[in-house]
Structure 1
Amino acid sequence: MSSFIVDRITADGTSLECDVRPSADLERFVTGDPFRIDYDRSIEDVPEGILAIPVLANVCPVAWANGADVYVDEVDAAFARALEDVKASLLSMYDFLEGGTLYARRTIDPEMSSQPGASAGEAAGGSTSDPKSALLFTGGVDSTCSYVRHREERPTLVSVRGWTITPDPSDDEKWNDLRARVSSFADERDLETAFIESNVLSALDHPMLLAHYKRHVDGAWYSSVGHGLGLLGLCAPMAYVRGVDDLLVAATHWDGIDLEWGSRPDIDDHVRWTGTRCHHDAYDLTRQERLDLIADYVGTSTPELELQTCNVRMDGNCGECEKCYRTAVGLRLAGLEPTAHGYPFADGDYDEIRAALDSGEWVLGQDERHMWGDIRDRVRETEPSSENEAAFFEWLVEADLDELVADSRPPLSHRLFRAGARNAPTRVYNGVYPALKAAKIGADRVRSRR
């Protein structure tokens, strides 16, 4: 029977560690490294049922992709019910997911007696008092918009290392840059911060997950399937310690875009555990409308606000990647000068954008297709301010965005490598894993940094 066993959960000071033991048929999806998560406050007093949440939130989707069950000694009852709801959403979204059951020896709910031996999905959740909010935050368009919307609540700003910034020492500088930037943003507004570091995507064999499932999704494993539940779940011990009752995650997409994506209202709004509920925020605003809201905030409160959205750097924006160019154009359409908010940009760059989109230089998905479509809708209502801008606007209005997406694909060598890894015996795959990792085929660099 296919299964994962979550075992030996320990909390030592600020560090959480546990083992995940797969059945033989699932060994290729884990590396054998213990799951580790580091927080910036002690978690030694956090109940085991809450401590189990970070690993369950990341392992369960892998189990559901293989029709496998997951076993754990203890789990918070509210989170057990949340997993059932999230599983239903993901199974309705993806045909390749098969489902599975979480079994716990004990489901813990302060308002209910324990239920030894029960299927964990049969329990219900609890609540807490003394409300406090927190927001997953990087300083990008989406999370900054959510901060502006909820600034009266004074949310704790939460940043996570383990996805777009890996735990590898080569990413130390990026993590330090993000921490410094978020801390500065928080200090200027007298907000608290929380920083979380995890090896979740190296404890899970993410290159193998990508090799197996990339053909089923538009993005990659974590962006398309796991990151809403996974990132929120990593926050559970932090939220328990800090008394956070409302945990916000900023929307990437918006109402009317029905894309298969790992963070959506029908996923994130289900996630909960005793004392905390999670919410998918600003789904009612398009990306351009979020920039409009930020522009209003800049005009009334923070004229020197800088955004950070770059897919290449964390110490500023490169100004040359697709995300930087797209954000710079959006800022102009919102009435802001990109150079004043972190983006080197000049009129001549419109020619660079058109050339890159026309040539398929950028690997685009349906995600970006809708982002550029949103820009195009605003372009139709905007008077260009220069000849270059007018020429670009005219081209964009007539461009076939579906064709631009279809013409951009990962290199054939990457697709062949994934197919080979997918079909190789585990022993053979383990031999080529270092090369696979070095080629960054497994890197899930999300295209929409929050």
Structure 2
Amino acid sequence: MRIAPVRRSAADGRLTLSCEVSHKDGTVPDLLWYRVHSRHEEYLTDVMDPFLLAALFVAMRKGEDLHVEGPVTAQLLENLEEFQAAWVQWRPEKYTAVRLTADREVPNRDRSAGRSALQTFSGGVDSAYTTIRHVKKAAGRGSYELTGAVMVHGFDIPLEEVEAYDTLYTRSIPLLQGVGVELLPVTTNFRKLWHSDLRYWEDAFATGMASVLTLFSGRFEHGIVASSEPYGSLVLPWGSNPMTDWMMSGGRMRIHHDAAGVERSDKVAALAKLWPNGADNLRVCWQGEHKDRNCCRCEKCIRTILNFKVSGSPLPASFPLDVTPDQIMSLRGLSEAHVNPLRQILVTARRRGLTDEWVTALADCITANEDEIARGITYEGGFPQLALTGDEA
């Protein structure tokens, strides 16, 4: 595989960076692109690290060596050798370690004592907690000068759902401005081009996030990816994790996996206390009809509602509907990655002596899904099923 030099084109206040990715088998080259606001042009990187990160899993799937026709930092090339070693160990049936080269290897940027940081921001619990954690300097010596966040159109909100993305982005601008963080919009076809299949996406989504973060390494030295699981309940392999996220660091930006020492229920409790406006504007849903709000009936919404319940925090305005025990028990088609955070909630509930009906329903839901996983039962499309509505229940 070869990644051609980056092309830039401007229109309607937007700047598009694109490159052709050709394949050894001679198939039609793919066109990978990112679109940013023209006002952020000065933030952009001068190397092709983002494009190498984006294409890596495709090359590993096809077993094709990958050459970049342009500059790549030597640090990224070195780190991605170790990154591949981990994923080939985890998924030998899917991936092959490939040779990575570039026309020119460039040294690391001279690092000052600066700690300027940019994070990925979806509006969910993990990213919102990371925001307030660094703004409030609650990460101790690990706190960074967080002044920027990227919201990506084309990841959990599909490219064709423009209105949903615009609504969420517009709503999030003043939310982040209120804590001194600038929101940078990015649109990309990374997922639609290569990772529309959930089996591929769940492995590769962190390379997509690191790719977008690194795109802005002309301005920021550190890129922060919010943790999805705590150290005590890691699910491996999983696209983003504390073992391999740092290996996506290059010579222009260091990537950090943030707050794996904090459980999700403790994150929502901290949000309710430190940033109630952030809690009131949470958006965790990716399965509901409207991607700019929470449906309160998908696995991710129900899980977050239970996080608030188990933490003793009232449901924020972002979750207008509560969940019933029957709806909890109706959840099916959960993978190990979905069941694992539900187990964490159950353990916390029992540790705190909670005996509510939802606790019993959650235990039954976990048992039923564990049984289906053990028997190899899957559902059409491989996606978790939505909970029953009030009428269906």
Residue equivalent to 2:321: 345
Residue of structure 1 aligned with 2:225, choices 243, 249, 253: 249
Residue equivalent to 2:356: 390
Residue of structure 1 aligned with 2:149, choices 143, 146, 157: 157
Distance 2:110 2:32 in 1: 28
Q: CA deviation at 1:146?
A: 0.9
Residue equivalent to 2:23: 22
* Aligned positions of 1:87-236 closer than 5 A: 87-96=84-93, 97-109=95-107, 125-129=108-112, 130-152=114-136, 153-168=145-160, 171-204=161-194, 206=195, 210=197, 220-223=199-202, 225-236=203-214
- On the 8 A contact 1:15/1:43 being kept in 2, the answer is no
Residue equivalent to 1:308: 283
Residue of structure 1 aligned with 2:351, choices 381, 402, 414: 381
Distance 2:59 2:81 in 1: 13
Residue equivalent to 1:327: 304
Distance 1:345 1:45 in 2: 41
Structure 1 residue runs of 5 or longer lacking an equivalent are 110-124, 211-218, 416-440, 445-450
Q: CA deviation at 1:44?
A: 7.5
Residue of structure 2 aligned with 1:402, choices 364, 370, 376: 370
Query: Does 2:283 match 1:280?
Result: no
Residue equivalent to 2:390: none
Q: 1:186 to 1:203 in 2, by over 3 A?
A: same
Query: Does 2:3 match 1:6?
Result: yes
- AA partner of residue 190 (structure 2): V
Q: 1:101 to 1:351 in 2, by over 3 A?
A: same
Residue of structure 2 aligned with 1:55, choices 44, 51, 56: 51
Query: Does 2:223 match 1:259?
Result: no
Q: 1:90 to 1:391 in 2, by over 3 A?
A: same
Query: Does 2:321 match 1:368?
Result: no
Say which SS state the counterpart of residue 105 (structure 1) adopts: strand
Residue equivalent to 2:139: none
Q: CA deviation at 1:369?
A: 1.0
- AA partner of residue 88 (structure 2): L
Q: 1:127 to 1:161 in 2, by over 3 A?
A: farther
Q: 1:155 to 1:90 in 2, by over 3 A?
A: farther
1:52-101: per-residue Cα shift (whole Å, max 9, x none)? Answer: 22221121111112321011222222222232222122122211211110
Task: Find runs of 4+ consecutive structure 1 residues off by over 4 angstroms.
Answer: 44-48, 301-304, 404-408
Q: 1:306 to 1:333 in 2, by over 3 A?
A: farther
Q: CA deviation at 1:32?
A: 4.1
Distance 1:277 1:98 in 2: 25
Distance 1:222 1:341 in 2: 30
- AA partner of residue 294 (structure 1): L
Q: CA deviation at 1:261?
A: 0.7
Distance 1:248 1:260 in 2: 20
- RMSD over aligned Cα, in angstroms? 2.7
- On the 8 A contact 1:128/1:274 being kept in 2, the answer is no
Q: 1:304 to 1:369 in 2, by over 3 A?
A: closer
Structure 2 length-normalised TM? 0.84
* Aligned positions of 1:422-441 closer than 5 A: none
Q: Which structure has more helix as a fraction of its residues?
A: 1
- On the 8 A contact 2:129/2:270 being kept in 1, the answer is yes
Aligned length: 363
Q: 1:23 to 1:303 in 2, by over 3 A?
A: closer
Q: CA deviation at 1:397?
A: 4.2
Matched-pair identity in %: 22
Residue equivalent to 1:268: 245
Distance 1:370 1:38 in 2: 35
Structure 2 residue runs of 5 or longer lacking an equivalent are 137-144, 385-393
Q: 1:127 to 1:274 in 2, by over 3 A?
A: farther
Say which SS state the counterpart of residue 273 (structure 1) adopts: coil
